Amino acid sequence: MKMHRALAGIVLAAAGTVATGQVVFLASDDDVLYRGTPSGVTNTFTVSDFIRGMAVVGGGAAVNGANTGDVIAVNRRTGGQQPIVVYRVDNAFSGTPTLVKIAEADQTFSDIAFANGKIYGVRTSAPTGVIQLIEFDSDFNTVNNYFTNIPVFDAGAGGLAYNASKDVFYVTDPDSDKIWEVSLGGGETEIGATGVKYNNNDLDHFKGTLYAALHDESDDTFHFGRFSKGTGAWSSIVNIGPYLGGAVGLVVVPAPGSLALLGLGGLVAMRRRR
Ligand SMILES: [Ca+2]
Ligand SMILES: [Ca+2]
């Protein structure tokens, strides 16, 4: 009996570790999607448009054409007058991903985040050149514009992620290679220098970790990694390979295996109770 209890404890502890530690990412470099884990890329796909930002629908927000847990994506406009298209990414984490158009946005933006039941985007404002957050309605029409005091000159700036436990957004500044914390009511705080010379990028905040995909300009490689929320310091997790020269998107979700292991732990615990 004692041994069973110990076994159950070990399996439950292992399941808990795996559940919080294992993730799957989907990163885009224009129309090439990379699916992988912290151990490396597992699949590579080509989709029907250039993807510039991705997010998992959450935070209680309503998106016409997508449900909570779906991956949605915003495209990179390739001509001056073309609309900004928002897609639902079907089969994002199993099978072959495909893009299903769900909206045309009324202004350009480069990443999506969900907070307090609302949809947000990020862009470089014109003509002043600051990082701007946009609140969209469920069809990606602008409801509010929020202009930060963070100057940027690179029109391709930015990732956007939201940390519900602090009620703050994170934004990237690829001109100075820094990251910032932005509170809609309370201004912005520079987190710090990242230690990586980066350009196109995208963010996702998942289970307390600020993940990013980015183009490392020092050697033109494309990486999945993380920024420290305390110092801004960058750590590469996977060197995906050569940067293809395109727009960058990223989403991170739990690995399916972590849920299966959690189920095994639960089963052992149930058996013990019988
Ligand atoms: Ca993102
Ligand atoms: Ca840079």
Q: How far is the CA of 119 from the centre of ligand 1 (A)?
A: 12
CA dist 237 and 25 (Å) reads 11
User: Does one domain contain both 118 and 235?
Assistant: yes
Q: Taking Cα atoms as reference points, which of 19, 22, 52 lies closest to residue 252?
A: 22
User: Which pLDDT value is given to residue 156?
Assistant: 58
Q: Which residue range forms the structural domain that includes residue 228?
A: 23-254
- Is the model's pLDDT at 20 over the cut of 70? no
Q: Which ligand is nearest to the CA of 26?
A: 1
CB-based burial, 167-197: b 16+ in 10 Å, e otherwise: ebbbbbbbeebbbbbbebeeebeebeebebe
- Is the model's pLDDT at 7 over the cut of 70? no
Q: Taking Cα atoms as reference points, which of 88, 108, 55, 76 lies closest to residue 200?
A: 76
In this structure, what are the phi and psi dihedrals at residue 266, rounded to the nearest 5 degrees? -65, -40
Q: Which ligand is nearest to the CA of 251?
A: 1
Predicted confidence (pLDDT) per residue in 121-163, tens digit: 999 887 778 999 999 999 999 999 999 999 987 665 689 999 9
Predicted confidence (pLDDT) per residue in 155-190, tens digit: 656 899 999 999 999 999 998 999 999 999 889 999
User: Does one domain contain both 128 and 170?
Assistant: yes
Report the side by side order of strands in the sheet with 71-75. Answer: 98-105, 84-90, 71-75, 40-56, 23-37, 248-254
User: Which pLDDT value is given to residue 160?
Assistant: 98
Q: How far is the CA of 203 from the centre of ligand 1 (A)?
A: 4
Q: Which ligand is nearest to the CA of 74?
A: 1
Residues at Cβ < 5 Å from ligand 2 ion? 174, 177
**Which tokens in the block code for residue 270?**
């149930």
Q: Which ligand is nearest to the CA of 198?
A: 2
User: Does one domain contain both 207 and 271?
Assistant: no
User: Does one domain contain both 267 and 170?
Assistant: no
User: Does one domain contain both 115 and 244?
Assistant: yes
Specify the DSSP element, H or E, that contains 6: helix 2-21
Residues at Cβ < 5 Å from ligand 1 ion? 55, 111, 202, 204, 250
Q: How far is the CA of 157 from the centre of ligand 1 (A)?
A: 13
Which residue's structure tokens are 């905040």? 205
- Residue 95 belongs to a domain with what CATH number? 2.120.10.30
User: Does one domain contain both 168 and 193?
Assistant: yes
Structurally, how many domains does the chain consist of? 2
User: Does one domain contain both 64 and 9?
Assistant: no
User: Does one domain contain both 170 and 140?
Assistant: yes
User: Does one domain contain both 210 and 259?
Assistant: no
- Answer whether 104's CB lies under 8 Å from 65's CB: no
User: Does one domain contain both 180 and 266?
Assistant: no
Predicted confidence (pLDDT) per residue in 46-98, tens digit: 999 999 999 999 989 999 999 999 999 999 988 877 889 999 999 999 999 99
Residue 242, CA distances (Å) to 30, 50, 61, 154, 156 in order: 13, 17, 36, 22, 19
Angle at 184 (CA atoms; ends 225, 208), nearest 5 degrees = 30
Predicted confidence (pLDDT) per residue in 188-210, tens digit: 999 999 999 999 999 999 999 99
Give me Rg for the CA atoms of the chain.
19
User: Which pLDDT value is given to residue 256?
Assistant: 84
User: Does one domain contain both 155 and 59?
Assistant: yes
- Answer whether 173's CB lies under 8 Å from 180's CB: yes
User: Does one domain contain both 162 and 263?
Assistant: no
Q: How far is the CA of 178 from the centre of ligand 2 (A)?
A: 9
